[in-house]
Amino acid sequence: MKTLYRKFTVATLVILATSLTIGFVLANLIYMTSTKQKIDEQNVEIAEGIALTLGRMHADVSSFEPFLESVGELGYQIYVINEAGEEAYFGRPFTKTSLPDEAMKVLKAQEIYHGMSQYKFWMMGHFSNDVTNTVGVPFTMNGQPYGLFLRPNNKLLFSDIHMILAWFFMAIAVVSIIGVLLMARQLIKPITNLTEATKEIARENFNYPLKIERNDEIGQLVESFNIMQKQLQHNDEARKSFINNVSHDFQSPLMNIQGYAELLMSKDITDREHQEYVQIIDHESKRLSTLTKQLLLLTSLDQNTYSMKVSGVQLDEQIKQTIRRFQWRLQEKEIEVSYSLPPVQIKADAELMSNVWDNLLTNAIKYNNHMGNIWISLTEDDTSLTIMFKDTGIGMSQENISQIFDRFYRVDSSRKRDGTGLGLAIVKQIIDLHEGEIEVDSKIGVGTTFTIKLPLNHKLEE
Ligand code: ATP
Ligand code: MG
């Protein structure tokens, strides 16, 4: 596998090599097009200055050699030749000493030789210790024509300041490379940690510590990762407890049915007992049927496989019908229902909505006191339709309220026989599906109020 770190390192080195190449080519182009000419001109000027001095020395030929030797010591390489072919070198020796024919024009035609500006090789040619790589000027001494060829030696070209600059650039390059590599390591480390954490999640370990605090994009990634990890953990726990609850809720009525069926089979039971057992079996099988229906509904709502059958629903009428359906239970508990339900029609799935009122009303009855009250209202403001179910029942604590929309949650599990704990979870799903909100307000011993808000755009004008 190619690691990110290796890629980063290779990329850095490639960028460095490319920039060096481009820099080198550009510097050469500048050297070839302008610098080379200027250097040549400067050296011609120096050579002419020396030639002028030599020309003035005709009276004193003995000082000719010491003068050129001292120029050589100053950092110049000099080659002198006269028409008779007598030649002499001063300063550091040249490695190549053959001059082209063109250079002889200095002697023959008194022309200046521009060897430095014509020297072929690129920038590196500037340092070539070749007598061809010189400038040549003519001068006359004692009536005899001479040629003086000169170039600054490489030591002069590489002055101390050049060395300091070279070290400076080397240091910058080395420090930059080390810096980039260290930074790459810093950048890549959290990614390696994240990969490790992802593998742990795949192994269902949701507690892998990922302590990376950064303010950059990687920090954001880690933050999202942590949120995802918590959500997955929550989902995993919910899934496990759901399976647990489903098995338990199916198991207990099945065991009851089994037990009472066995009792029914025994011969020595009274008619009354027979009647009672049949009733229990009937009740438990109904309970199983409700549970299955509710689970199927929840699952299809969950997986978005439920196809909504949206139509015009006369809300007030639907709620009144629900009250009528539960009349016998209300009378049984002597609960008084009052309501204010002005006519309102909304776009909704009638069956799902009916499910909501069913559950809210049965809850208000089930968790109400004998001779309690229920108040149902429907109001409308600028943004929403509000439906309220208020009862004077047993109420709930704040802690319970936070859990009542969870699947299978029941405040008092000893009342388990009365329901499945799925009712409000379904209500919440249905209200979400209709883009509404549901809120609960409750006080122990005082009562509970469920408030549903549906967006006004669901309302149909009469
Ligand atoms: P199901 O509706 O599935 O038959 P359920 O009524 O027990 O069963 P939910 O409707 O989901 O389940 O309600 C969850 C729990 O919230 C109930 O068990 C009850 O403890 C509490 N609860 C719901 N409505 C009220 C209410 N009006 N007053 C007091 N407690 C309530
Ligand atoms: Mg209920």
Tell me the per-residue pLDDT of 81-122, one tens digit each, with 9 for 90 and over. Answer: 888 888 889 988 888 888 888 888 888 888 899 988 877 777
Token look-up 């610098």 returns 35
CA angle 102/105/106 to nearest 5° reads 120
What percentage of the chain reaches a pLDDT higher than 70?
A: 97
Ligand 1: which residue has its CA nearest to atom 22? 363
Determine the average pLDDT of the residues in 183-210: 87
Most ligand 1 atoms within 8 A of CB, residue of 357, 363, 428 to mutate:
363
Q: Kindly give the number of the ligand 1 atom that is closest to the alpha carbon of 412.
A: 20
Residue 169 Cα to ligand 2 middle (Å) = 79
| Most confident option among 24-38, 235-249, 274-288 | 274-288
The dihedral through the CA atoms of 345, 347, 349, 352 has a sign that is negative
- Report the alpha-carbon distance of residue 446 to residue 369 in Å, rounded: 10
Helices 217-265 + 271-302 axis angle, to 10: 160
What is the pLDDT confidence band of residue 35, given thresholds at 50, 70 and 90?
confident
Mean per-residue pLDDT, 161-177: 88
What is the C-alpha separation between 24 and 17, in angstroms, rounded? 10
What DSSP element (H or E) covers 145? strand 144-152
The alpha carbon of 184 and the centre of ligand 1 are apart by a number of angstroms equal to 57
Ligand nearest to the CA of 421: 1
Q: Which ligand is nearest to the CA of 401?
A: 1
Q: Per-residue pLDDT for 61 more than 70?
A: no
What secondary structure letter does DSSP report for 96? Answer: B
pLDDT for 177 equals 86
The predicted structure's pLDDT at residue 329: 92
Common-topology check for domains 4-157 and 308-458 = no
Domain residue ranges of the chain, discontinuous segments joined by +? 4-157, 213-306, 308-458
pLDDT at 447: 96
User: Closest ligand 1 atom to the C-alpha of 421?
Assistant: 12
Residue of 322, 408, 416, 424 with the most ligand 1 atoms within 8 Å of its CB, for mutation? 424
From the CA of 408, which ligand is nearest? 1
More confident residue, 82 or 61: 82
Q: How does 181-190 read in b/e, with b if 16+ C-beta sit within 10 Å?
A: eeebeeebeb
Mean pLDDT for the stretch of residues 361-385: 95
The predicted pLDDT at position 58 comes to 60
Q: Mean pLDDT, to the nearest integer, of 31-46? A: 87
User: What's the whole-number mean pLDDT along residues 366-387?
Assistant: 95
Q: How far is the CA of 322 from the centre of ligand 2 (A)?
A: 14
Query: Cα–Cα distance between 67 and 50 in angstroms, integer?
Result: 9
Residue, of 373 and 165, whose pLDDT is higher: 373
Average pLDDT, the chain: 88
pLDDT tops 60 at residue 344: yes
Q: Which residue has the higher pLDDT, 333 or 28?
A: 333
Q: What is residue 427's predicted lDDT score, i.e. its pLDDT? A: 96
Return the H-helix or E-strand segment holding 379: strand 373-380
What is the CA(172)–ligand 2 centre distance, in A? 74
CA 264/CA 126 separation, integer angstroms = 116
Q: How confident is the model at residue 414 (pLDDT cuts 50, 70, 90)?
A: low
Give the CATH number of domain 308-458: 3.30.565.10
Architecture label for domain 4-157: 2-Layer Sandwich (3.30)
Say yes or no to pLDDT of 362 above 90.
yes
Measuring from each residue's beta carbon to the nearest atom of ligand 1, which residues come in under 6 Å?
359, 363-364, 367, 391, 393-396, 404, 409-412, 419-425, 448
More confident residue, 324 or 85: 324
Closest of 229, 208, 219, 209 to residue 186, by C-alpha:
219
Which ligand 1 atom sits closest to the C-alpha of 409? 14
CB atoms within 10 A of CB 165: 11
Q: How confident is the model at residue 439 (pLDDT cuts 50, 70, 90)?
A: very high
Ligand 1 centre to CA of 256 (Å) is: 23
pLDDT of residue 59: 54
Mutate to test the pocket of ligand 1, among 367, 407, 440 (most ligand atoms within 8 A of CB): 367
- Which pLDDT band holds residue 462 (cuts at 50, 70, 90)? low
DSSP state of 127: G
Separation of CA 359 and ligand 2 centre (Å):
5
Q: What's the CA-to-centroid distance between 340 and ligand 2, angstroms?
A: 23
| 181: confidence class by pLDDT, cuts 50, 70, 90 | confident
Architecture of domain 213-306: Orthogonal Bundle (1.10)
Q: How many CA atoms lie within 13 A of 278 on its CB side?
A: 7
Top pLDDT among 378 and 177 is at 378
Nearest C-alpha to atom 20 of ligand 1 is from which residue? Answer: 411
The ligand with the least distance to the CA atom of 440 is 1
